[in-house]
Amino acid sequence: MGETVDLLVPIVLAASEGGTSLIALLTILMLAVFVGFEVITKVPPTLHTPLMSGSNAISGIAIVGALLSVVLVEESTPHSSLARWLGFFALIFATVNVVGGFLVTHRMLSMFRRKK
């Protein structure tokens, strides 16, 4: 979820600067969401937890990007407050994703410990 919010910052900023059209960028975003959903639903349930623990690194990168968008956005840009708010929400969602992934991985690994 954090990755999706983190993708919105460059989309909004690029469309506002007159670069690629907003419709084209939203089309790319929706295609990425659709392909991601299709790929994830094809994964067998036994692989979900190892994949989640592997995706913590990707969410960590999203946290770094969200921090950069919150801290480094200049006040003089026209959409600085929007970029900061989107970065803040991306930071929250990516942090929840990382913590949840570690909790699920910890729970999965505790199933394989020997009981005393």
What the block records as the tokens of 49 is: 């937890």
In a domain, 116, yes or no: no
Q: What is the rounded distance in angstroms from the CA atom of residue 65 to the CA atom of residue 59? A: 10
Question: How many domains would you assign to the chain?
Answer: 1
What the block records as the tokens of 6 is: 């983190």
Residue corresponding to tokens 């994949």: 51
In a domain, 115, yes or no: no
State if pTM tops 0.75: no
pLDDT of residue 61: 83
Has residue 97 got a pLDDT over 60?
yes
Give me the percent of the chain exceeding a pLDDT of 70: 73
Which residues constitute the domain of residue 56? 2-110
Compare 49 and 105 and report the one with higher pLDDT.
105
